[in-house]
């Protein structure tokens, strides 16, 4: 097990595409996965029943469906000396298995404690594309499992984008603590509480004085700032949570639940605001005119409007020189929100840090005239044909500055 790599959570994974008979066990009366010969590398040669957590994931539901159960691994010809071994993997019917359909992705992952994680991801979905990228496996066939073990190559190192995918699997990677000097500074600077998101983002940037969104390029700067803020946030959060948990929640179940929800909601909202804060810093450094949260029509508020609301409301201002940008750490189905945020602007731009969005979803975005803006380091997580239509942060800032120049010259 190597800290900071997938091997910290999995000793190996097996991935296949579900066939009709596997996905519909009720009608077929079969509760076994096919093509399991390769699983001997992962599960061994002995009959064994594994505790398993079952998860169903799709792009349509914000939260995964989770159920507990077991998986039984056995040789169906164990007592037939004249026949070669024929291994099978039996699964019970669960709330997850009944959601399965032909073409869905199946992942059997063995954890360091010996238990299994059985993931079913909707076929053709973004989460399927992300799981394949996360584990470094090409789209598998219907006939058998693709196996990976060790999981300690450069591909398996956990970083910001892969951490977001792991969280969807119910795994929250532990972010390395910042040096103690940073914690001492934050406690003194913020008085032992979380400051506003814009103040915290500014502090995170100040700890990387060598990162400049012009000389270092904005793509590198954005990812460096996001990763540094994540480390600093988790360091301060761990300290403050430890202090609160030490006080306990004796006979206060509601208080504990409320506290837990507050922690989760703060994590989710902070990440989104951090992305906006750091992107705003890039605009300021590049002296780009913009307005954050400007109103357009029907109370809509694009995250960023270029050059601003006065130009947008001026019907004499050339609409082709206007730009809007939505910023979302992850998309799922929320990308549709930007469609109604600025009617005068035909092509909507959307910044996201989400890796490996599916071909189906990027095609749908293109059909709706949405241009994805993705930091350059994440482009490689997309298929080659998808990469051709992606815009990086550098290209976006160059485009906006060019429009501003054209507007000034007209």
Q: What is the DSSP string of 284-322?
A: HHTT---EES---STT---SEEES-HHHHH-TTS-GGG-
Q: How far apart are CA 94 and CA 165, in angstroms?
A: 24
CA distances (Å), origin 264, targets 77, 107, 319: 49, 27, 40
Contacts of 404 (CB under 8 A, 6+ apart): 288, 289, 306, 307, 321
> What is the rounded distance in angstroms from the CA atom of residue 87 to the CA atom of residue 39?
9
Looking at 5, 182, 203, 312, which residue is catalytic? 312
Verify whether residue 56 is a known catalytic residue. no
Measure the CA–CA gap between 354 and 377, rounded to whole angstroms: 11
| DSSP line for 185-251 | HHHHHHTTS---HHHHHHHHHHT-TT--TTTS-HHHHHHHHHHHHHHHHHHHHHHHHHHHHHH--TT
Cis omega (within 30 of 0) on the bond before 193? no
End-to-end, the C-alpha distance of the chain in Å comes to: 62
- Is the distance from CB of 325 to CB of 306 less than 8 angstroms? yes
56: Cβ contacts below 8 Å, ≥ 6 apart: 64, 65, 95, 96, 99, 100, 119, 120, 121
Both tokens assigned to 212 = 């400049």
Q: Are 110 and 12 in contact (CB under 8 A)?
A: yes
CA 251 to chain centre: 36
Residue 24: helix, strand or coil by DSSP?
coil
347: DSSP letter:
S
Between CA 80 and CA 350 the distance in angstroms is: 61
**Which of 329-367 are b and which e, b meaning 16 or more Cβ less than 10 Å from the residue's Cβ?**
bbbbeebeebbebbeebeebbbbbbbbbbbeebbeebee
User: Which residues form the catalytic set?
Assistant: 312
């Amino acid at each position: 097990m190597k800290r900071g790599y997938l091997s910290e959570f999995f000793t190996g994974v097996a991935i296949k595409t579900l066939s009709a008979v596997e996905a519909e066990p009720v009608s077929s009366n079969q509760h076994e996965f096919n093509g399991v010969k390769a699983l001997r590398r992962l599960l061994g040669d002995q009959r064994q029943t594994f505790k398993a957590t079952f998860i169903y994931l799709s792009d349509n539901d914000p939260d995964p469906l989770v159920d507990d159960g077991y998986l039984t691994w056995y040789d169906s010809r164990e007592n037939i000396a004249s026949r070669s071994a024929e291994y099978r993997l039996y699964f019970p019917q669960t709330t997850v298995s009944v959601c399965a359909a032909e073409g869905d992705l199946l992942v059997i992952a063995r954890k360091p404690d010996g238990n299994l994680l059985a993931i079913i991801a909707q076929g053709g979905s973004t989460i399927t594309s992300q799981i394949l990228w996360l584990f470094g496996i090409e789209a598998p066939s219907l006939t058998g499992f693709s196996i990976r073990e060790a999981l300690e190559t450069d591909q398996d190192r956990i970083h910001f984008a892969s951490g977001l995918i792991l969280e969807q699997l119910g795994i929250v990677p532990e972010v390395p603590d910042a040096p103690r000097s940073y914690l001492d500074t934050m406690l003194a600077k913020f008085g032992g509480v979380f400051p506003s998101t814009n103040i915290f983002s500014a502090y995170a940037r100040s700890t990387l004085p060598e990162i400049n969104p012009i000389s270092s390029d904005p793509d590198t700067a954005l990812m460096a700032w996001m990763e540094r803020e994540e480390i600093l946030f988790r360091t301060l959060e761990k300290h403050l949570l430890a202090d609160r948990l030490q006080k306990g929640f004796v006979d206060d179940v509601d208080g504990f639940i409320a506290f837990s929800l507050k922690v989760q909601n703060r994590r989710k909202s902070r990440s989104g605001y951090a992305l906006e804060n750091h992107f705003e810093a890039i605009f300021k450094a590049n002296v780009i005119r913009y307005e954050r949260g400007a109103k357009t029509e029907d109370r809509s508020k694009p995250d960023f409007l270029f050059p601003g609301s006065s130009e947008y409301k001026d019907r004499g201002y050339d609409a082709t020189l206007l730009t809007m940008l939505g910023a979302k750490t992850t998309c799922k189905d929320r990308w549709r929100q930007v469609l109604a945020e600025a009617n005068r602007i035909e092509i909507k731009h959307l910044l996201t840090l989400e890796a490996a969005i599916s071909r189906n979803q990027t095609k749908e975005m293109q059909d709706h005239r949405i241009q994805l803006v993705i930091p350059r380091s994440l482009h490689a997580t997309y298929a080659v044909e998808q990469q051709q239509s992606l815009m990086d942060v550098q290209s976006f800032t160059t485009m906006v500055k060019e429009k501003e120049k054209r507007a000034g010259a007209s």
